[in-house]
Amino acid sequence: MRTFEVPSRDQVSPEAQGIFDNLQKQVGMVPNLYATIGYSANALGSYLAFQGAQAKGAFNAKEREAVFLAVSQVNGCAYCQAAHTALGKMNGFTEEETIELRQGRSDNAKLNAIVALAKDVTENRGVASEDKVEAFFAQGYDNGALIDLLALVADKTFANYVHNLTQITIDFPEAKPIEELELV
């Protein structure tokens, strides 16, 4: 199988270099996953714009991290599990909560509805069980929130696939492995 390297700033197009510079200023680093997406300046610019737009959607940062943890677990992406465990903790989750979210569950009813639906949609390639959809709406979410949730699933699935294919080095502390539990 082909080996992928994380490109340096000098190995990407001038357009991608500008994006790298902005990331460096905003977050203090260019995460390896973003750098790898930067092989295509178009893909990186589009992806970051999509993420930025979704930050204005129905879900706050903590809820988005919860979705990203659930989706990344289903898609088996060690990079995103690590990154979003770290980001989840920065947004107020405990280690134990990040593990529960990766399993598609939470003691918080609203978060539980969100992650259970995100997990179900991801596992079933866009199809969800009626009970998960109804539980989501029972928490007060509307059709717009449902579409925003699907956008978050798509966002993270793209990132998961980039890492799963390239297997580039994880530059976040590794997430603890979990055993998948059968949820009732």
pTM of the model: 0.94
Q: How confident is the prediction for the chain on average, in pLDDT?
A: 95
Is pLDDT above 70 for 23? Answer: yes
Structure tokens at 170: 């994880």
Tell me the percentage of the chain whose pLDDT exceeds 70.
97
Is pLDDT above 70 for 91? Answer: yes
Q: Using one digit for the tens of pLDDT, what is the confidence trace for 102-154?
A: 999 999 999 999 999 999 999 999 999 999 999 999 999 999 999 999 999 99
The residue extents of the domains of the chain are: 9-54, 61-166
Q: Are 83 and 172 in contact (CB under 8 A)?
A: yes
What letters, b where the CB count within 10 A reaches 16 and e where it falls short, cover 3-38? eeebbeeeebeeebbebbeebeeeeeebbbbbbbbb
CA angle 45, 167, 147 (to 5 degrees): 45
| CATH fourth-level superfamily of 61-166 | AhpD-like (1.20.1290.10)
- pLDDT of 184 reads 36
Give the residue from 55, 152, 67 showing the smallest Cα distance to 110. Answer: 67
Is pLDDT above 60 for 46? Answer: yes
Report residue 178's pLDDT band, with 50, 70 and 90 as the boundaries: confident
- pLDDT of 179 reads 67
